[in-house]
Structures are given as structure tokens and as C-alpha cells.
Amino acid sequence: MKRLAIALLSCGMLCAPPVWAGFDEGLAAYKAGNFAAAYKEFLKLANRGDAGAQTYLGIMYDHGAGARQDTAEAVKWYRKAAHQGLALAQANLGLMYKNGRGVRRDTAEAAKWTRKAADQGDAMAQFNLGLMYDDGEGVLQDAAEAAKWWRKAAEQGNAGAQFNLGLLFDSGQGVREDNTEAAKWYRKAADQGHAAAQFELAEFYTKGEGVRRDTAEAAKWFRMALSNPRGDDRVWQQAQAALDALPAAALQPRTPVYTDRDSPDLNLDPQRGEQ
């Protein structure tokens, strides 16, 4: 079961307020795409010890925005902010160690910094720490620990963690097998546009696992996975094959069946008007 860590690059999640004048100007410039101006402001503040500015500088060096790309320089600034306790910097430093970017690859060091961020409630760090426990990378392999960290991230709305937690409940790894719980987490991820979760949810509707069997609902989710630009060839091919295998009736649009209680208001009494 291959799961990829996704680097947390969103700069709106800094959790320590800036203490130096000029941070707001740098942030505004960054959001406007004026990276040269942002770099100038952040560099001044970073040199004075502002952890938020240090983290932004790390991100800019990491991705060559406003400065030439230099992953070693990115690591330097992430480390300065991480030592001040900033969760985003700790999470990103963990990823640099995990992937060997700008620093020698060291999975134990990656796990150390990722855990520091995860303990502060950083959802992406919690997701990545779950990956580490699932794969036994930098820590002893432990499906129950993976489930614990993915649940924390999933409850914060992390779609990747929601999907992976669904996989664990589906297979009974690290948790008691529970198709209803698996379907719940697949749906949460699917509702956020996670293509693989959309496919798995469709499979559940096809088989009646964790949900009432409903081939029309299955077809809906297979189509969503098939048209999802976030998917990959494997998901798209499987979704197409599953869709082709469904009975023709499942592919027809549903006709609403109304009761007396919920039938459309035809307004047959022209004297009544609006209620």
C-alpha cells in the first residue's frame, strides 16, 4: 500500500505571530506574488530572530521563489525557526531530512522533527508521522501508531489521512476491521476530492460493504473518480473498468419518486399566492 507524503507548503498556517514591524508587508507581498519584496522584508526580520520570517525564507529558498533555489539554505532557515518551536518549520525540516533535500537523508532525524510538529497539532506532520509508522521509516513499524496519528490528522480534515484511515479500517490493520468506519472515512476524503477515496467508496456501494448496496451511487462515485484531475492512471483505469462492469440500469439517471408529503408544489390554486 503505497502512500506518498505531501510537503506542507501552505504559508497560511504559521502558528507564531510576528514580533517585528514589516512582517505584514512581507506577507502581503508574498501573497501578491511579489517575491522580491517579500524576500527583502523577511530577510531583515529573519536576521533579527523572527521565526515566522525564517520559515518563509526557508520556503522561498526551498522553491526558488524570490531567491535562487537552494535547499541547503532552506534547511538552515527551517532549522532556526524549528528550534524556536514553530510547528510548520519543524514539519518542513522533517520532510527535508526524510527526502534528503538540502541535508543528508536521516529518517530518525526526520521522525524527530515531524513528531515535534505533530505533537503541536500540525495536521500535515501528523499525516507524515503516520506514514513513517506505517512504513517503519525512522521509527519501528507500528500500524496502531499509524492509525493513531492518521486519526488525529483526519479529525482536522486532512483528506490523505482520512483515506488512509479508511484503508486501515477496511483491512483491519492497526484497528479492528470495520467497514462502516471505513466507509465513513472514505466518504470524508471523497467529499474533499480525493480520487482514490472516491473509487473505494464506489466499490463499497457496488458490494454493499459498510453502506447499503446501491449501484447507481457506485456509478456516481466511479464517474467522479474518473473525471478527477487529482487521480492517476491506476485510479482512472480501475474506475473505468468498474464503471463498464456495472449493469446498464445503474448508469441511467434516477427519476425522483415523490410522495404526497414531498411532491413538488404545482401551485394549482392561483388565488393562494405565496405562503
pLDDT digits (tens, 9 = 90+) for 146-200: 999 999 999 999 999 999 999 999 999 999 999 999 999 999 999 999 999 999 9
- Mean pLDDT, the chain, as a whole number? 87
Q: Which of 152, 140, 228 is nearest to 190 (CA)?
A: 228
Which CATH number does 161-252 carry?
Answer: 1.25.40.10
* Euclidean distance between CA atoms 56 and 19, whole angstroms: 14
The model's confidence at residue 201, banded by pLDDT at 50, 70 and 90, is very high
pLDDT computed for residue 6 by the predictor:
39
The three cell numbers locating residue 107: 529518517
Region 115-131: mean pLDDT is 98
User: Band of the pLDDT at 254, cuts 50, 70, 90?
Assistant: low
The answer to whether the CB of 98 falls within 8 A of the CB of 105 is yes
Is-contact 51 77, C-beta < 8 A?
no
User: SS3 of 124, please?
Assistant: helix
pLDDT > 70 fraction of the chain, expressed in percent and rounded: 83
Phi/psi of residue 261, each to 5°?
-75, -40
Residue 4 has pLDDT above 50, yes or no: no
Residue 159 in grid coordinates? 483528506
- pLDDT confidence tier of residue 63, bands split at 50, 70 and 90: very high
Q: How many CB atoms lie within 10 A of CB 42?
A: 32
Query: pTM score, two decimals?
Result: 0.82
Q: What's the full length of the chain, in residues?
A: 275
Segment 92-108, tens digit of pLDDT: 999 999 999 999 999 99
| Residue ranges per structural domain of the chain | 161-252
Q: Which of 20-24, 74-78, 139-143 has the lowest mean pLDDT?
A: 20-24
Closest CA to 196 of 174, 164, 173, 148: 164
Give the CA angle between residues 83, 89, 90 to the nearest 5°. 65
Which is more confidently placed, 121 or 3?
121
Quickly state the pLDDT bin for 257 (edges 50, 70, 90).
very low
CA–CA distance, 188 with 181 (Å, rounded to integer): 11
Q: What is the tens place of the pLDDT at every residue in 124-143?
A: 999 999 999 999 999 999 99
